[in-house]
Amino acid sequence: MISRGFLLWLGLVIGMILASVQISMKVEALDSSLNKLLDEQEIERDRIRVLRASYAYLTAPDQLRPLVERHLDLHPIRGDQMLMLAGLPERAIELDAPMSGPGILPGLAQPLPPVSAVPPSVAAPAVTLPPAAAEETGPTVISPPASGPPSAVTEQAPFAPIPRLPSVPPVNPPWLEAQHPPVLQPVSYPKDQRPAP
Amino acid sequence: MSEAPIAPPILPHGFDSHTVAAGGIHVPPRRPRGPASWRLALVGTAFAAAFVMVGGALVLNAAPQTVSPAIAGGMTESGSREFSPRASIVDRNGEILAYSLPFSSLYANPQEVRDPEAVAAELVQALPELKATEVAATLANKGREFAYVARHLTPSQHSAVLNLGIPGLYFRKEYRRIYPRGRLASNTLGVVSEDHRSGLSGVEAFFDSDLANSPDLPLALSIDVRVQNVVREELQKAIDRFSGIGGIGLMMDVRTGEVLASVSLPDFNPNDFSTITSETQTNKVVGGRYELGSMFKLVTAAAALDYHVATERTMFDATKPLVAYGHRISDFRGEHRWLNMPEVLIHSSNIGAARMGALIGAPRMAQFFDRLGLLQKASIELEESAAPIAPHHWQEINAMTTAFGHGFSVTPIQFASAIGAVANGGVLRRPTLLRVAGDADTAGARVLSEDTSARVRRMMRAVVVQGSGKAANSPYYKVGGKTGTALKAISGGYSTDKRLSSFIGVFPIESPRYVVLVSVDEPKGRKDTLGFATGGWVSAPAVREIVERVAPMLGVPQSEPEKPKQPSLIHTVAVRVPQ
C-alpha cells in the first residue's frame, strides 16, 4: 500500500524535475541571448577600433595637407598674428552720466574719467640678463664673416607664403576597405569624383 | 524546606498521558523502530542527495559562462580570444600613434583538405598575392593539423575566401599593430612582432608588459604630433636641399625634460616591415653617438664661467693655429686676432675654445661633463639609449679637443638635455618620453648657477644676432643658439668632406622654454650657399622655420623687439682688442 508520505515525496520530486527543466530552459535561452549580446558587443568594439584608427589616419598631417591645398587657402600662423590676452587694449568705458540710486556708493556718484586705450603689448616673462658685459660700449662694429649665412630677419618678407612640400595623393590603409557590414560611409567626394545620384 | 512530591494527574476514562501530550487528540504510543523505518530514512536521504545534486546543477547552469564571440562573417570561430589587443599609444594631446586592430587570419587543417592543388588554385584567385605552389605544399603536409595560409586579411579578402566555401579552411581573429601616422614617429614608437605578442623596439619594447597587460589604459607620450610633423618636414627639407644622407631633429621642453619631437631620418614605415633596414631602424636621437663639433663650445663657456676660471672679458689668443701634443688646432675661418669669450662663440673659434679648455683643465672639464650627464647614457625610456664615447683618461689634450666638440661622442638627446640645463637656469632634468601632468616645472638637479646660465644665454643670443647662427634669427621670437660643423671621424682620423652640420637653438631666449636641435648628415654645398654646407647654412634656417611654425601652436607669445640702442657684446669687447 502506498503511503501518503511516499506520494508526497513523489510529488515533490516530479515538481522539482519539472521546475529544474523549466529553469534549465530559461538559462539556456538567457545564455543564448548573452552570447548574442557578447558577440554584438565584440563586433561593435571592433568597429569602433576601426573607426578610431581610420579617424587618426585620415586626420594625419600628411593626409590633410593635400586636401587643404586643394580646397582651402590657408597658411600657417605667423608670430605677429598672435597676441596674448593681456596685451589686448582695454575698452574705454563711457561713464559720463552720473550714477544714482540706492545701491550706488557715495564715492561713485560722480562720473569717472574714461579709461584710455592701452597700446597693445605682449606680456613677456621677465628674465634679467646680467648687464655686466653690456656696461661698456664702443663704436666699433665687427662685420660678420663674408661666408656666413644671410641674416634671416633682413630677408624675411612680411606674410611671404611658406613653401610647401609637394603633395602626395592619400592612399587609404587596408582597414579602410569595404567592411562587412560597412562601417565607413563616405562623407563627401571631390567634385570630379562625385558619383552620379 | 523540601518541596512536596507532585501527584500524577487524574485522567478521565479513555485518556492516557500520550493523549494529553497531543492536545487532546488521541495519538497511539510510539512503537519501537523496525527495519521499515530505516529503509524509509534511507530512501529519504537518497532523495535529499538527489535534490542537492539537481540544485547544484541548476546553480552551475545558471552561472555566467565564458562565451567565445563569433568572428563576424567567419567560417568557423576558433581561438578568437587567444590574442588580446595591446594598449594604444597616444601623443600628449590624445592623438593616436599606435593601435591594435582585429584582423582575420586564414589557416588550414591539411588533414581535412582533400585536393590541395585544387584548393590552392581557388585560393590564389581570391588572394592573388599568394603563390599556388607554396599554398599547395602547405596544404599537402598531412602531418600537421594547423598551418597558416594567409594572415591579417582585409575584410574584402576575408569575404572572398569565405565565399569559396572550402572545407578544411578556418579563420581566426588576430590583432595587428597599426600606426595611423605612418613614418611620423616610427623610430620612437618602434615595432611589435608580427604575431602581436611582444614589442621589438622603441616605446613598444620598453613598455611591453604595461601595454600588453593593461589594454584599456592608453600610454600617453610627451610627443606632440603637430610639432613632430613640423620638425620632420623641416629636417627633410634641409636634407633634400643639401643632399644629405640623413638627419636628426629634436625638440625638448627645458622645464620638464619632455621630448616633444624626436626625428631620425631616414626612417621606416612601421606598417610595412619591408621598409625596415639597419639604417632606417636606428634611432639616431638616442642611439647615435656623434662628435657634435662647435656646439660644445657652449658647454665649455659654461664650465669656464661656473668654475670662475674666465669671464666674458678674458682674452684668448687666436692669432695663429694652436699646436699641442702633436695636434694642430685651427679655425674654419679665423679672425687671426685675440678674442674674448663671446667672440670665441660668435666666430666659433676652435683655437679660442681649446685655450679655454686648457684653462679649465682636464679634471674640471670631465667633472663638468659628468654633472651635465654627458658621461652616462641618457636615462630615457628607450632601450636603444647608447652610452657616450669619452676619453678613458682625461688629459690636457682631451680638455682642449672636447672644448670644441671633438674627441668625445655623445647622443643628441644627451646634448640637448645638457644645453637645456645650461639655458634653463642651471637645472638638469631627465629627458622623458612620458607626458608630464600639469604645467609646473619638474624636479631636477642643479648643475650650474643661475648667473652662469644667464650669461651663457646672453652669448647664445649674440651668436644668433651677430655670429654664425644669423639664419636662425626670427623676427617674431628671440632665438639663442650655436652652430656646429663637425668633420666625421673615419678610421685613422677625420674625413675632409664628410661632416655633420648642426644647430642647437633655445627659444624664447629671454625665458627659455624649448630647445631645438637639428643636424644634417653629410650635406653638400650649393651654388647659392657659395659651396658652404656648415651648420649656419644648413641647420640654422631649419631651426628658424621650426620655431616660427611651432611657437604659435604652443602658445609662445611673440618676443618684445630688442631695444635698438642696447649695447651689444661685440661693442663691449671690441674696445679691448689689441690691434
3-class SS shares of chain B: helix, strand, coil, % to 5? 35, 20, 45
Q: Which of A168-172, B329-333, B566-570 has the lowest mean pLDDT?
A: B566-570
Res. B324: pLDDT tops 90: no
Residue in B473, B375, B468 with CA at minimum distance from that of residue B415: B375
* Spatial distance between the Cα atoms of B525 and B178, rounded to a whole number of angstroms: 39
CB contact under 8 A, A82 and B571: no
- H or E element at residue B299: helix B297-306
CB contact under 8 A, B225 and A61: yes
Q: Which of A43, A82, A147 sits opposite B557 (nearest CB)?
A: A82
Q: Among A48, A78, A164, A172, which would you mutate to test the B interface (most chain B Cβ atoms within 10 Å of its Cβ)?
A: A78
The reported pLDDT for the residue numbered A175 is 58
Q: Which of B14-28, B100-114, B549-563 has the lowest mean pLDDT?
A: B14-28
Q: Among A22, A31, A34, A42, which would you mutate to test the B interface (most chain B Cβ atoms within 10 Å of its Cβ)?
A: A42
Over the stretch A8-65, which tens digit does the pLDDT of each residue have? Answer: 999 999 999 999 999 999 999 999 999 999 999 988 988 888 898 889 988 888 888 8
CB contact under 8 A, B182 and A20: no
Strand, helix or coil at B485? strand
Residue in B571, B292, B346, B297 with CA at minimum distance from that of residue B468: B346
* Spatial distance between the Cα atoms of B174 and B71, rounded to a whole number of angstroms: 10
Per annotation, catalytic residue among B88, B100, B294, B474 = B294
The reported pLDDT for the residue numbered B4 is 52
Burial class (CB in 10 A: 0-12, 13-18, 19+), A155: exposed
Q: How far is A160 from chain B (nearest CA, A)?
A: 13
Please name the residue ranges forming H helices in B411-510: 412-423, 450-466
What average pLDDT is seen over chain A? 65
* C-alpha B562, offset from chain centre: 38
The reported pLDDT for the residue numbered B520 is 95
Q: How far is B425 from chain A (nearest CA, A)?
A: 10
Res. A74: pLDDT tops 60: yes
* Spatial distance between the Cα atoms of A12 and A5, rounded to a whole number of angstroms: 11
- Give the side-chain half-sphere CA count within 13 A for B36: 3
Residue in B475, B528, B467, B531 with CA at minimum distance from that of residue B503: B467
The reported pLDDT for the residue numbered A188 is 43
CB B481 within 8 A of CB B506: yes
Query: Cis peptide leading into A131, omega within 30 of 0?
Result: no
Please give the residue of chain A at the shortest CA–CA distance from B470.
A151
Q: How far is B184 from chain A (nearest CA, A)?
A: 9
Please give the residue of chain B at the shortest CA–CA distance from A123.
B557
Task: Provide CB contacts within 8 A for A105, sequence distance 6+.
Answer: none
Query: Could you tell me how many helices (H) and strands (E) chain B has, helices first?
Result: 21, 16
Q: Which residues in chain B are contacts of A36 at CB distance < 8 A?
A: none
Residue B214 annotated among the catalytic residues of the structure: no
The reported pLDDT for the residue numbered B6 is 54
What pairing do the DSSP bridges indicate for beta strands B89-90 and B219-220? Answer: parallel
* Spatial distance between the Cα atoms of B254 and B556, rounded to a whole number of angstroms: 14
- Give the side-chain half-sphere CA count within 13 A for B308: 2
Strand, helix or coil at B507? strand
Q: How far is A98 from chain B (nearest CA, A)?
A: 40
Chains A–B, number of C-beta pairs less than 8 Å apart: 231
Over the stretch B533-547, which tens digit does the pLDDT of each residue have? Answer: 999 999 999 999 999
Q: Which residues in chain A are contacts of B216 at CB distance < 8 A?
A: none
pLDDT band at B51 (very low <50, low <70, confident <90, very high): confident
Residue B50's alpha-carbon distances to B47, B53, B55, B58, in angstroms, are 5, 5, 8, 12
Mean pLDDT value across residues B419-440: 92
Q: How far is A6 from chain B (nearest CA, A)?
A: 9
Q: Which of A56-60, A126-130, A150-154, B147-151 has the lowest mean pLDDT?
A: A126-130
Residue in B508, B510, B505 with CA at minimum distance from that of residue B540: B505
Over the stretch B447-490, which tens digit does the pLDDT of each residue have? Answer: 999 999 999 999 999 999 999 999 999 999 999 999 999 988 87
Residue in B186, B256, B261 with CA at minimum distance from that of residue B518: B261
What pairing do the DSSP bridges indicate for beta strands B337-340 and B259-265? Answer: unpaired
Q: Which residues in chain B are contacts of A75 at CB distance < 8 A?
A: none
* Spatial distance between the Cα atoms of A94 and A98, rounded to a whole number of angstroms: 11
Q: Which of A60, A130, A142 sits opposite B454 (nearest CB)?
A: A130
Q: Which residues in chain B are contacts of A59 at CB distance < 8 A?
A: 95
Residue in B359, B344, B346 with CA at minimum distance from that of residue B310: B359
Please give the residue of chain A at the shortest CA–CA distance from B312.
A133
Q: Which of A50, A128, A180 sits opposite B73 (nearest CB)?
A: A180
Please give the residue of chain A at the shortest CA–CA distance from B425.
A127
Please give the residue of chain A at the shortest CA–CA distance from B454.
A129
CB contact under 8 A, A20 and B57: yes
Over the stretch A140-173, which tens digit does the pLDDT of each residue have? Answer: 333 444 445 555 554 444 445 545 555 555 556 6
Q: Among B43, B96, B254, which would you mutate to test the A interface (most chain A Cβ atoms within 10 Å of its Cβ)?
A: B96
Dihedral, CA of residue B454, residue B456, residue B457 and residue B462, to nearest 10: 130
Q: Which of A27, A60, A140 sits opposite B182 (nearest CB)?
A: A60
Backbone angles phi, psi at B84, to 5 degrees: -115, 160
Ramachandran bin of B91, using left for φ above 0, alpha for ψ from -120 to 50, beta for the remaining angles: beta
Res. B1: pLDDT tops 90: no
What pairing do the DSSP bridges indicate for beta strands B493-507 and B514-521? Answer: antiparallel
Please give the residue of chain A at the shortest CA–CA distance from B52.
A16
Residue by residue, what is the 3-state secondary structure of B2-63? Answer: CCCCCCCCCCCCCCCHHHHHCCCCCCCCCCCCCHHHHHHHHHHHHHHHHHHHHHHHHHHHHC
Q: Which residues in chain B are contacts of A82 at CB distance < 8 A?
A: 551-552, 557-558
Q: How far is B271 from chain A (nearest CA, A)?
A: 9
Q: Which residues in chain A are contacts of B454 at CB distance < 8 A?
A: 127-130
Please give the residue of chain A at the shortest CA–CA distance from B474.
A153
Over the stretch B380-412, which tens digit does the pLDDT of each residue have? Answer: 999 999 999 999 889 989 999 999 998 899 999
Burial class (CB in 10 A: 0-12, 13-18, 19+), B570: buried
Q: Which residues in chain A are contacts of B570 at CB distance < 8 A?
A: 140-142
Percentage of residues of chain B with pLDDT beyond 70:
87
B44 vs A85, more confident: B44
Q: How far is A112 from chain B (nearest CA, A)?
A: 33
